[in-house]
Amino acid sequence: MNRRKFISKTVLASMASALGMDIVFGSRLPKGLLPLGLSKQDPFELFSKDKDMILLNDRPYNMEARPHQLDDDITPNEYIFVRNNGLIPNEVDVENWTLSIDGESVISPKTYTLSELKTRFTSHSYQLTLECGGNGRSEFDPPPKGNQWSLGAVYCAKWTGVRLKDILEDVGIKSDAVYIGYHAADSHLSGDPTKEAISRGVPISKAMMEETLIAYQMNDQDIPLVHGYPLRLVAGGWPASASGKWLERISVRNIVHDGEKMGGTSYRVPCSPVAPGESVADENMCIIESMPVKSLITYPKTGAMISDKKLSIRGHTWAGENSVIKMEYSIDFGSTWKECDLKKAPNRLAWQRFSAEVEFPQEGYYEVWAKATDSDGVSQPMLVPGWNPKGYLNNACHRIAVKVS
Amino acid sequence: MKSSPKKEFSNQLDLINGLILSIFVVLLLFLGVLGYAIFDPSFSRFSGFFNADSDEKNEFLAEVESEEVVDGIHVETGFIDAPGMVATIQNCTGCHSSSLVIANRMNEERWIETIRWMQETQNLWDLGENEKVIVDYLVTNYPPKKIGRRANLENIEWYELED
């Protein structure tokens, strides 16, 4: 029995068990449901990713970069991490693709075609940092469940589109609006057509920010399919799951959006700190908003052996809604810190470039640690920060290994 | 012949008795089913009875395609070949890959929490007796590793860095 056949049976089975009856759904399954997630195509080729990316999971596809691959100021597609909660839509009908705005807090719902969006509103471009809420999960102890991301579920691409704010103003929203929630064309992993894979969102204040885009281009080209073609909500500086791919509809809500993966332990952390491994009741979990201050050494690649006692290092730093005001490095495990050269961001919510000339006192094994401090005076911890059930928000200092001979 | 009022009353009494008895039997049956449901909510033991095709459910499970094992590792999935592996492949790899299972290291309590979450949100079915088999397999073969607050850098690929 080939994989596709047994998967489709499994999918039918899970639907049958969910609905409590046997169903012949096969004929009703949307065309795009199975193939991409399940075929044995090479995901690196499929998504035009560099062969050195790390494949964490092939069903659903989840892939991350190695830190040295993230050296560009604007991350090219080949190094952009892939995170899917559901199955990628197989066929995208661009001609008939629409974006609808509805929900309790719109005066009346409205629908736009892609060309209406592009012609009726002014387009804007921003470089926006998107990081998976679970980036760094693999370092938590006890290990939380989920994809075991290490360092590379982050990037900063250039996004072009229209401001969500402009669209919402065109539609007209009521004063009781508190949140927006997205709805998209991906499908639930089990294949159940009655369920959404993910439907998250942001508070209305974030939705109304200038940099919050309904994007139709990434890095001056159509958005790659795996990153949300043809339309994506992009909310830089927040967990990347807030930036809904394959966007079809935005609901303006008069309550905190209650879509799939807005509740439970999904993208939420304990409202007050807990001991490692502790169970946390749902009502004591709070939604992650702005991501914490963090940095990555993107040059050189870890494991460098040098004969000279000098080394140039560089990387990127970001701090959610904040900016980074100080960047330091240490070669003695934090005993002493030296300041790096730090550039301003090209625009708000883009990562910032840092660089430094490191000098080593003698031969031996070293680790170069990097530490950023944000505009609130908050720094990265050297240790893994507060444990939480799903292992979010690990912003511990990045370090690379260097041998001097 | 017209029956006497006494006989009519007796007939009615019989009828009422019969009714009470049948209500009681129905109630007893209902309570029995309800009681069973507490222990086996999906009525898995009766699946063959209610289903024309009793093997229906098994057919839906993911299949182990190859039995090749090298150095104790099941080649097709990467799972450690140990008791419970087959049930794990069958019930877990239909929706997501084995690598997601292998990468996760949890104790019994947290695996059960995860299974409940998958049942509530991801359409995972009731695993019945296999739940214990699978959880035992996972905690035995993929126990949580103590890594503390920060681990050493490991698996460093050393290379000469040219200027």
Task: Name all domains of chain A by residue range, CATH numbers in brackets.
Answer: 94-287 (3.90.420.10), 294-404 (2.60.40.650)
Rounded to the nearest angstrom, the minimum Cα separation between A346 and chain B is 29
Q: Which residues, numbered 96 to 115 in chain B, qualify as contacts with chain A under a Cβ-Cβ cut-off of 8 Å?
A: 96-97, 99-100, 103-107, 110, 114
Rounded to the nearest angstrom, the minimum Cα separation between B141 and chain A is 15
Q: Is residue B102 over pLDDT 80?
A: yes
Is B52 at the interface with chain A, CB within 8 A?
Answer: no
The CA distance from A383 to B94, in Å, is 37
Walking along chain A (405 residues) 10 residues at a time, the average pLDDT comes out as 39 40 35 41 91 89 96 98 92 95 98 97 98 97 91 98 98 98 92 92 98 98 97 98 98 98 96 94 97 98 96 98 98 98 98 98 98 98 97 98 97
B57 phi/psi in degrees, rounded to 5: -65, -45
The CA distance from A50 to A48, in Å, is 7
- Suggest the residue from A4, A5, A6, A55 to mutate for an interface test with chain B (most B CBs closer than 10 A): A6
Judge whether A241 and A197 are in contact, CB under 8 Å.
no
Distances (CA, A) of B27 to A126, A222, A389, B16: 68, 65, 44, 16
Structure tokens at A305: 């052996």
With the C-alpha atoms ordered A126, A127, A128, A132, is the resulting torsion angle positive or negative? positive
Q: Is residue B134 over pLDDT 80?
A: yes
Judge whether A402 and A368 are in contact, CB under 8 Å.
yes
Rounded to the nearest angstrom, the minimum Cα separation between A86 and chain B is 10
Determine the average pLDDT of the residues in B100-110: 88
Q: Is residue B3 over pLDDT 80?
A: no
**Nearest Cβ partner of B161 from A12, A305, A382?**
A305
| Higher-pLDDT residue of A301, B36 | A301
Q: What is the DSSP letter of A82?
A: E
The amino acid present at A152, given as its one-letter code, is G
Cβ separation B125–A22 shorter than 8 A: no
- What does the DSSP assignment read for A245-305? SSEEEEEEESSS---TTSSTTTTEEESS---TT----GGGEEE--SPPPEEEEEESPTTEE
Determine the average pLDDT of the residues in B79-88: 95
The CA distance from A7 to B43, in Å, is 24
Cβ separation B110–A145 shorter than 8 A: yes
**Nearest Cβ partner of B150 from A145, A265, A396?**
A396
The CA distance from B136 to B129, in Å, is 12
Is B139 at the interface with chain A, CB within 8 A?
Answer: no
The CA distance from A372 to B149, in Å, is 19
Q: What is the pLDDT of residue B55?
A: 38
Q: Is A191 exposed, middle or buried (0-12, 13-18, 19+ CB in 10 A)?
A: buried
Q: What is the pLDDT of residue B105?
A: 87
Q: Quick one: pLDDT band at residue B39, thresholds 50, 70, 90?
A: low
Q: What is the pLDDT of residue B15?
A: 72
Q: What is the pLDDT of residue B32?
A: 65
Sequence-distant (6+) residues with CB within 8 A of A172 are A106, A107, A108
Longest dimension (CA), chain A: 72
SS3 B98: helix
| Higher-pLDDT residue of A79, B11 | A79
- Suggest the residue from B91, B100, B159 to mutate for an interface test with chain A (most A CBs closer than 10 A): B100
Long-range interactions of A383-386: CB distance < 8 A, separation 24+: A383/B149, A383/B150, A384/A136, A384/A139, A384/A140, A384/A141, A384/B149, A384/B150, A385/A292, A386/A269, A386/A270, A386/A273, A386/A274
The CA distance from A352 to A339, in Å, is 15
Is B56 at the interface with chain A, CB within 8 A?
Answer: yes
**Nearest Cβ partner of B158 from A3, A14, A303?**
A303
Rounded to the nearest angstrom, the minimum Cα separation between B25 and chain A is 27
- Chain B residue with Cα closest to A308: B163
Write the pLDDT tens digit of every residue in B59-73: 557 888 888 999 999
Sequence-distant (6+) residues with CB within 8 A of A116 are none
Judge whether A219 and A202 are in contact, CB under 8 Å.
no
- Suggest the residue from A8, A12, A14, A314 to mutate for an interface test with chain B (most B CBs closer than 10 A): A14
Residues of chain A with C-beta less than 8 angstroms from the C-beta of B150 = 139, 382-384, 396
Helices B130-141 and B108-121, axial angle in degrees (round to 10): 130
Structure tokens at A52: 């050195």
SS3 A111: strand
The amino acid present at B62, given as its one-letter code, is A
Cβ separation B104–A145 shorter than 8 A: yes
Is B28 at the interface with chain A, CB within 8 A?
Answer: no
* Distance from chain centroid for Cα A45: 21
Judge whether A70 and A350 are in contact, CB under 8 Å.
no
Cβ separation A14–B94 shorter than 8 A: yes
**Nearest Cβ partner of A57 from B65, B100, B144?**
B100
- Whether omega before A60 lies within 30 degrees of 0, making that bond cis, reads yes
Overall size of chain A counted in residues: 405
Rounded to the nearest angstrom, the minimum Cα separation between B151 and chain A is 8
Q: Quick one: pLDDT band at residue B17, thresholds 50, 70, 90?
A: confident
Q: Is residue B9 over pLDDT 70?
A: no
